[in-house]
Amino acid sequence: MTKNWWKILATVLVLFSIIAGFLFHVPEKPILNETIRNIHFHVPMWFSMIVTLTVSFVYSIRYLRSSSENDDLMAIESANVGIIFGVLGLITGAVWAKFTWGEAWSNDPKQNSAAIALLVYLAYLVLRNALEEEQKRGRISAVYNIFAFPIMVVLLFILPRMTDSLHPGNGGNPGFNTKDMAPELRPVFYPAVLGWILISVWITTLRYRIRKLENQINEEN
């Protein structure tokens, strides 16, 4: 149990954020209205994606240094989970945009950047499939992963800030920093972010362990 406390914490936090996110009082804003509750679901997806993709980046560096198969497995599995969370972030964002901006896809720089960042990681998966030999696959895909990561950072954090954007936090719009966010939202928002990040890490470790077991079975046969 001592090792599992964070999994329990993750479950409690996410359950709390779902219940509190739908039931607690939220500030009434024009245009946003009740859709403001989506902030507890949409934003944590992106936080989780950034965290898992960073984990993938770190394990790719570790793989280049160690050439151990486990590091490669961790890099690919965290990238997989990061892609899933990115897709979820795009979907929750599109639903939100449909209500507030009028269109699910409104050519917003942040939306476009996020979609391109996902393309970069889908290309990483394609590259992995194109390489047969395990050692070579691990090394070359690690190189691409490390090469792509700074580009993704530029895409998500620098480019949207340079142009006008409907998205909060860009183009002079308020974001979710300490000053802009309504105080009533914070007690739910911060636990939601932490909970989803922990959940994403949990899924990654589960997938990693499944892959490791599969490899062991394959070796025995």
**Interaction site with another protein (CB under 8 A):** 64, 113, 116-117, 119-120, 123, 126-127, 130-132, 136, 139-140, 142-144, 146-148, 150-151, 154-155, 158-159, 162-163
Q: In the complex with another protein, which residue's Cβ is closer, 13 or 50?
A: 50
Question: At closest approach, how far in Å is the CB of 45 from another protein?
Answer: 20
* Residue 33 CA, distance from chain mean position: 26
Question: At closest approach, how far in Å is the CB of 77 from another protein?
Answer: 21
Whether the CB-CB separation of 167 and 94 falls below 8 Å is answered with no
Nearest residue to 130 via CA among 118, 144, 117 = 144
Question: At closest approach, how far in Å is the CB of 6 from another protein?
Answer: 33
Question: At closest approach, how far in Å is the CB of 129 from another protein?
Answer: 10
Nearest residue to 95 via CA among 106, 85, 84 = 106
Whether the CB-CB separation of 108 and 167 falls below 8 Å is answered with yes
Q: In the complex with another protein, which residue's Cβ is closer, 140 or 166?
A: 140
Q: In the complex with another protein, which residue's Cβ is closer, 24 or 147?
A: 147
Q: In the complex with another protein, which residue's Cβ is closer, 158 or 206?
A: 158
C-alpha to C-alpha distance for 73 and 208, rounded to whole angstroms = 6
Whether the CB-CB separation of 92 and 45 falls below 8 Å is answered with yes
